[in-house]
Amino acid sequence: MRCNGYAHIHTIGCQMNVYDSEKLRAVLHSLGYQQTPHPEQADIIVCNTCAVRHKAEEKAFSFLGRFARNKQKNPHLITVMAGCVAQQEGKRAFQRLPHLDLVLGTQAFSRFNRHIEALKSGQRRIVDTEPSDVIFETQPDSKAFEENPVSKFVTIMQGCDNFCTYCVVPYVRGRERSRSWQSIVREIEVLAENGIREVTLLGQNVNSYGAKENGPSFAGLLKKVADIDNIYRIRFATSHPKDLSEDLIRAMADLDKVCNHLHLPIQSGSNRILKKMNRGYTRELYLSRIDELRAAIPDIGLSTDIIVGFPTETVEEFEDTLALVAQVQFDSIFAFAYSDRSSAPAARFSGGVDETEKMARLNRLLAFQDTITREKNLEMAGQVVQVLVEGISAKQHDGFVKTTPDTRQMTGRSPANKIVHFPSETLVPGDLAEIKIEDAYPHSLWGKPLEQFFQ
């Protein structure tokens, strides 16, 4: 294809943004733009943004702000703010970024190519934050398989109807809507034909997949994806505790390809705070779901999201969260200091927690979970786990190789989502290997292959 120039896409935020950026890349590729890892060389610079916390939003402005000067050198340079911050800010984005050319909201991706053509013919400062019920869908192109040849994200639904009081998502991503199962299956078939062996199905609340569309339930979709040849593993995120059905727990237990891992955000261990967050469940209900999960799938890996310092959270209520973390013994947690988002209702709640106190709570929680993660990892010594090989281990690049310095060290994940490093000269990305765990790092495991086998 003719090369019209170079494009650089910078992605901030969640897995869904990684997926969306891939689609934006495919559009630019179809317009003749090749990817470059160097923004200074690019003719089009896109920042796919996240509005979930203030820090992520600031990152987007500071990334795009860097290119005001490049624009003076290259007047043809096109700069684009895409995604959640674009949707939230609309034309206000030009106040801080006067050189910006396109503000592409979350529901405007299907019009991206049209806007790029308009910019190329001289138009400037385009804003598209029009809502749309249509989910932008493209099938993966050949370039999609260059970066990660083993595992891909597949967005199955967009938006959210839950309106947790701290969360900007319902305002920037709109109401919940699901893709058709046929389109999802077709996309995954193409991925499998091109060597992808693991897919992670994405949605803000996958448990309510298809609820408005009268299609199969999420458990039904899992069955259909599990029938696709050459997909070895299926993961998904995120589940909402209030909607986690028995049907889904059964499907996870029964379908071999569905990994024994669940990301189930609790957000807080205090019932008063959960209520103020509008989460729709209590601590007790959450804990009973964990019991049901562990009864059905004893070796399940569990992770969660937690917000500390939500308005009016007392030290005692924060300690309720610590106690819940101690009780559940998560394999890992993602913890955040509460951040005011002006479109979300909690920004208008009184009783904000002091920033220093929030950070102290965050650090206390993270340090506490580190001891749990380490202990749980050490307990794995002697166990054999099946690993899907992803590539050369980052620990190899650090020069940290546990055998001899010239041994190739590889990495992959266990079904429970533990990162496993191991020496091997023969295993390649996409292989399944049985690894006997011998040691633990703080956030990953180390072992040796028992044998090598292919599906």
**Binding site residues, ligand SF4, CB under 6 A:** 160, 162-164, 167, 169-170, 204-205, 240
- Spatial distance between the Cα atoms of 444 and 377, rounded to a whole number of angstroms: 7
Residue nearest to ligand 5AD (CB): 305
Beta strand pairing call for 301-308 and 332-337? parallel
Output 65 or 345, the one with its CB closest to ligand 5AD: 345
The item of ligand 5AD, ligand SF4, none sharing an interface with residue 126, based on CB under 5 to 8 Å by kind, is none
Task: Report residue 183 as tokens.
Answer: 């389109």
The item of ligand 5AD, ligand SF4, none sharing an interface with residue 330, based on CB under 5 to 8 Å by kind, is none
H/E element, 92: none
- 341 forms part of the interface with ligand 5AD (CB under 6 A): yes
| Cis status, amide bond into 238, omega within 30 of 0 | yes
Which range touches ligand 5AD (CB under 6 A), out of 59-67, 293-301, 331-339, 444-452? Answer: 331-339
H/E element, 184: helix 181-193
Q: Report DSSP state, residue 197.
A: -
Beta strand pairing call for 445-453 and 432-440? antiparallel
- Spatial distance between the Cα atoms of 455 and 453, rounded to a whole number of angstroms: 7
Output 51 or 389, the one with its CB closest to ligand SF4: 51
Output 187 or 320, the one with its CB closest to ligand 5AD: 320
Task: Report residue 333 as tokens.
Answer: 């947690």
Q: Report DSSP state, residue 267.
A: B
Output 237 or 388, the one with its CB closest to ligand SF4: 237
Please write down the HEC assignment for all residues of 209-239: CCCCCCCCCHHHHHHHHHCCCCCCEEEEECC
Which range touches ligand 5AD (CB under 6 A), out of 84-92, 249-257, 291-299, 332-340? Answer: 332-340
- 243 forms part of the interface with ligand 5AD (CB under 6 A): no
Quote the Cα angle for 101-105-107, to 5°.
140
- 304 forms part of the interface with ligand 5AD (CB under 6 A): no
The item of ligand SF4, ligand 5AD, none sharing an interface with residue 240, based on CB under 5 to 8 Å by kind, is ligand SF4
- Distance, CA of 260 to chain centre: 18
Which of 153, 166, 181, 330 touches ligand 5AD (CB under 6 A)? Answer: 166
Which of 152, 153, 170 has the alpha carbon at shortest distance from 161?
Answer: 170
H/E element, 293: helix 283-296
- 336 forms part of the interface with ligand 5AD (CB under 6 A): yes
- 263 forms part of the interface with ligand 5AD (CB under 6 A): no
User: What is the contact mask toward ligand 5AD in residues 48 to 77, using x (rule: CB under 6 A)?
Assistant: ----xx------------------------
Output 204 or 393, the one with its CB closest to ligand 5AD: 204
Output 131 or 195, the one with its CB closest to ligand SF4: 131
**Cβ at position 170, least distance to ligand SF4 in Å:** 5
Which of 424, 328, 314, 439 has the alpha carbon at shortest distance from 383?
Answer: 439
The item of ligand SF4, ligand 5AD, none sharing an interface with residue 338, based on CB under 5 to 8 Å by kind, is ligand 5AD
Q: Which residue has the tokens 């896109």?
A: 46
Output 338 or 422, the one with its CB closest to ligand 5AD: 338
Residues that bind ligand 5AD (CB under 6 A): 52-53, 166-167, 265, 267, 305, 307, 336, 338-339, 341
